[in-house]
Structure 1
């Protein structure tokens, strides 16, 4: 591997190196303090809507101690090559082929969100090529609510409803109930919303393919053997802390830490709290017993974290109206209601359609609703939060302090 030694953040938007493997184009940039560096490189793998420039601070932080490689596999980041026939496992194998062709030593991947699935699979399938593994926003996407939200996003894209898709995706990435905690500014939130709204047709198709890979993923047959550090934002609703903890528990030698005042984008929202853990971890040093801005979970805690990310309380006014786009409606009773979902009872048909539902409650705007489970206890549901005004009104009703208008816009 020939590393560039002239790193500057401006280079992250320059054309990448391209390595072709079996017809697949892998885009990468590689930096170090020396051109030929035998040390294990850090490999950065981003999530949806991220590019090399998203990692400017991380590259600057890591370069004094490690070589750094940024990699975009097909359909990732700035790599526009579509790859509908490749599953997550095949993409992970491309990382191993990349390392082999460039004769790299064992890698230290940092995988975020979608990139975390690829990094974890690479480590599990190619243990000899992975020295250490750092993950954030990781899940096997087995949680029914997460799957329904992904499926709804795909359906909205198929129908050309990009505005509703963007609003729902934004609420998954940035928890609107904790903006004051996470410090996400209205300017950043609106910029990310615009970025999603303005996806090109190719970018939309890449998102479709990546989401379908996640939905098709049957789960990990084996877990990483190398030292592993899992970072979970304490307010992450999309990939919840208990999912991070359960993944860590399944690994051979993993630590899991909750990052305070962070959600799905913990690495960017709480850079110093995350860096205080990943710096010693990547250096092979023991993690600090206590670290500002985070809490390390003990082994006995990993399988005992609360699986509900918000309290679900019985509303004072329980009667509501459930309506379907076909024109039918039912009077129902809400037994649990939260910002992200709830539970209702009513005389509903057993074969409920999966989409097209609206919940009318009190004086609030109608709220789009997705059924999850229909059983004796009632209908469990999630809100896709595709309507900004309805989301804002619901949050203001459920939580004592109303959110600023920018929270759901």
Structure 2
């Protein structure tokens, strides 16, 4: 479930049109990995984690990604492309990290056109970008929103320890939290072991956090996804917050 929740951008399902059936088949394929397939997956993941330097291609190269890729963000792909002396860059419209599942025809047409050394600029479903445009690409993939009930708790997964906090803003992928004096540094000591409590019309629920930055009395954290049920509930929570903001506006 965690792999699918990270590879598929659940905040953009309406745009990517990743059907529930396709998601179930994706899940079933991974759940039914043989021992050999599990070992191959483990080896490949650890190979990527150990990778420290990707050589820059000196030949003509195509760098492509999904428009809504939340796993390897478009601006990260752009940063790599900008290092290549002879490159073309394109985003596959309305796709995320798995365009081969969501926009198969557009993806294959893009690759085939490039390999024939033909221009990609007018391909349907493809968003080509110039080097100048890459330099000003937006880094954030999803807007952050304020919430109606910002005061919350960070609780430790394995003890009674908790920290009072205020949600500055959040989205499906991360959250910015504010603390009283000294509490941010204390909370950051448990960077992988704290869960944020959220309240909605259905009651309260928790989602685990991965703290990656502490500045003044604020903490930035990624939201750790590993459950379809909690992910879908978080999406409903975010939609309600957006609805409240729209009503106030």
Q: TM-score, normalised by structure 1?
A: 0.54
1:255-294 matches, cutoff 5 A: 255-285=88-118, 287-294=119-126
User: 1:359 and 2:196 equivalent?
Assistant: yes
Q: Deviations over 1:167-226 (max 9, x none)?
A: 111011111122232222211101111222233344333323222221211122x40011
Q: 1:239 to 1:320 in 2, by over 3 A?
A: same
Name the SS for the 2:91 alignment partner: strand
What are structure 2's unaligned runs of at least 5 residues? Answer: 243-249
1:115-130 matches, cutoff 5 A: none
Name the SS for the 2:65 alignment partner: strand
Q: Partners in 1 of 2:188 and 2:210 — Cα distance?
A: 14
What are structure 1's unaligned runs of at least 5 residues? Answer: 1-166, 403-409
Of the structure 1 ranges 206-215 and 340-349, higher mean CA displacement relative to structure 2 is found in 206-215
Q: CA deviation at 1:267?
A: 2.9
Q: Is the 8 A contact 1:369 1:383 kept in 2?
A: yes
1:373 counterpart (209, 213, 228) = 213
Corresponding residue for residue 207 of structure 1 = 41
Name the SS for the 1:399 alignment partner: helix
Q: Is the 8 A contact 1:231 1:257 kept in 2?
A: yes
Q: CA deviation at 1:269?
A: 1.6
Q: Is the 8 A contact 2:110 2:123 kept in 1?
A: yes
Q: Partners in 1 of 2:215 and 2:167 — Cα distance?
A: 15
Q: Please identify the structure whose Cα radius of gyration is greater.
A: 1
1:316 counterpart (148, 163, 166) = 148
Q: CA deviation at 1:351?
A: 5.2
Q: CA deviation at 1:362?
A: 1.6
Q: Deviations over 1:109-148 (max 9, x none)?
A: xxxxxxxxxxxxxxxxxxxxxxxxxxxxxxxxxxxxxxxx
Q: CA deviation at 1:400?
A: 5.3
1:115-154 matches, cutoff 5 A: none
Q: CA deviation at 1:228?
A: 0.8
Q: CA deviation at 1:330?
A: 1.0
Name the SS for the 1:382 alignment partner: strand
Q: TM-score, normalised by structure 2?
A: 0.86
Q: Partners in 2 of 1:266 and 1:190 — Cα distance?
A: 17
4+ runs deviating over 4 angstroms: none
Looking at both structures, which has the greater relative contact order when contacts are Cα pairs under 8 Å and sequence separation is at least 6? Answer: 2
Q: Deviations over 1:16-35 (max 9, x none)?
A: xxxxxxxxxxxxxxxxxxxx
Q: CA deviation at 1:277?
A: 2.5
Q: Partners in 1 of 2:2 and 2:151 — Cα distance?
A: 26
Q: 1:228 to 1:400 in 2, by over 3 A?
A: farther
Q: Is the 8 A contact 1:368 1:387 kept in 2?
A: no
Q: Partners in 2 of 1:179 and 1:307 — Cα distance?
A: 20
1:339 counterpart (172, 189, 205) = 172
